[in-house]
Amino acid sequence: MSYQTPRGTYDILPEEVRKWQDLEQKLRDIASRYDYEEIRTPYFEDTGVFARKGDSSDMVNKEMYSFGDNGSFTLRPEGTAGVIRSFDQHKLYGSMEMPARFYYVGPMFRHERPQKGRQRQFTQFGVENIGLKDPQLDAETIALGIDIVRSMGIRSIKVCINTLGDDASRKAYNEALRAYFAPHIDELCGDCHRRLEQNPLRILDCKVDHELDLVKNAPRLADYLNEESRTYFDGVLKALDAMGIEYEIDDRLVRGLDYYTHTVFEVISTRPESGAQATIFGGGRYDHLVEYFGGPEMSGMGFAIGLERLLALAGEDGYTFPEKQPLDAYIITLGEVGAAPLAIASRLRQAGMRAVANFTKRSLKSQFKSADRAHAKHIIIVGEEELKNNTVNVKNTGTGVQETVALEQLLSKLQGEE
């Protein structure tokens, strides 16, 4: 019987895991520079946490892995809803300083057609800040994401930004879109029929119809923004200018999820080989989620980065990932030495060193080869004769010097050569 990873999933082998650990360290460092704290929510939630009333997104309608009686639970397709559910469940709005700042890292699950940069299990780093609606905070959130992308050596990026305006602006726009598309419904795909009913804005984001002239010539959201929404958006742009962050206003950017209000943004890779899945991170402001889950009226703002995409781009841009840490000691044996290598390795580890003993009794030459491959700083040769005198041979691989060392001096000798 042989098995492979399910479609859209992948193993991360040790060599790759090292890259992940390097990235995760950077994520945590940068998040902490902005005073965000980690939050961990379950990998599955009640389906209703994601499938909120009237949701028109593909993610909710087509891509969720639901299970249990009547699909009552769902593997999380994204992090935001779970964080807000948790914020409300624990009434954190009553105890935390506002804005409350959270970050999370972990797997998400979407039943999509797998392709380069698009998996069924993928990993997001995301941030959410809740309880302050301020254009400067929107800009600062974008800056955090850019810091992360830059920390991985990625330079070829473009910041696309738009506003969906407040409820009144979006309502006016949706009505205009409905009036515009209704006479042409036959030209739209089946999904867009549903979208026309539920949320016409979604038609602009349709993977099938977005190239149609009909869609390209649709009314522009910018023409339906009220004064308040315009002023808010200007504030975000000014704050980005103040930090020297360049951006492009893309008034067709509506994002694939339903909860956004006001600012939305995506940071994309401009490398030609990134292809269709060029979005490194995306996010925006949401005015109603906290209330939806039973909390007070509070606005939130966040984004999520696809870490697989980020790592792939870092590799292409020539970022150097750290090497595997060398061992402090690799112990090889000569003759009948019983459990001495085990005991020595154990003693070195107790002292905080990284040590491995070769138990194979293979030829000295072959054991030396293994030691070389392990990139050990010291090779310790435990020989039958030496052991009788309570000594071992120690080779410093950096200097090439080999010498006899009394067992009781071994630790201080190795520590002295750190």
Positions that interact with ligand HAM (CB under 6 A): 78-80, 110, 112, 117-119, 122, 124, 126, 128, 256-257, 279-284, 302-306, 308-309
Give the separation between CA 225 and CA 169, rounded to whole angstroms.
5
Nearer to ligand HAM, 174 or 263 (CB): 263
Contact call for residues 299 and 133 (beta carbons, < 8 A): yes
* Residue whose C-alpha is closest to residue 188's, from 220, 210, 219: 210
What the block records as the tokens of 8 is 């859209």
Residue 17 Cβ vs ligand HAM, minimum distance, rounded to whole Å? 18
Residue 6 burial (10 A CB sphere; 0-12, 13-18, 19+): exposed
Residue 9 Cβ vs ligand HAM, minimum distance, rounded to whole Å? 11
Nearer to ligand HAM, 36 or 122 (CB): 122
Nearer to ligand HAM, 205 or 417 (CB): 205
Residue 120 Cβ vs ligand HAM, minimum distance, rounded to whole Å? 7
* Residue whose C-alpha is closest to residue 236's, from 139, 368, 333: 139
Terminal-residue alpha carbon distance, the chain? 48
Sheet holding 355-357, edge to edge: 355-357, 329-334, 378-383, 391-396, 402-406
Nearer to ligand HAM, 10 or 93 (CB): 10
Residue 301 Cβ vs ligand HAM, minimum distance, rounded to whole Å? 7
Residue 114 Cβ vs ligand HAM, minimum distance, rounded to whole Å? 8
Residue 344 Cβ vs ligand HAM, minimum distance, rounded to whole Å? 47
Nearer to ligand HAM, 128 or 386 (CB): 128
- 3-state class (DSSP) for residue 73: strand
Residue nearest to ligand HAM (CB): 306
Give the separation between CA 157 and CA 7, rounded to whole angstroms.
30
Nearer to ligand HAM, 305 or 376 (CB): 305
Residue 44 Cβ vs ligand HAM, minimum distance, rounded to whole Å? 16
Nearer to ligand HAM, 149 or 340 (CB): 149
Nearer to ligand HAM, 128 or 328 (CB): 128
Residue that the structure tokens 């001495």 belong to: 340
Residue 277 Cβ vs ligand HAM, minimum distance, rounded to whole Å? 7
- How big is the chain, counted in residues? 418
- Sign, Cα dihedral of 258, 116, 162, 127: positive
Q: Where are the beta strands (DSSP E) in 243-390?
A: 248-249, 263-269, 279-286, 300-306, 329-334, 355-357, 378-383
Nearer to ligand HAM, 200 or 283 (CB): 283
Residue 304 Cβ vs ligand HAM, minimum distance, rounded to whole Å? 4
Give the separation between CA 4 and CA 315, rounded to whole angstroms.
25
163: part of which helix (H) or strand (E)? strand 157-163
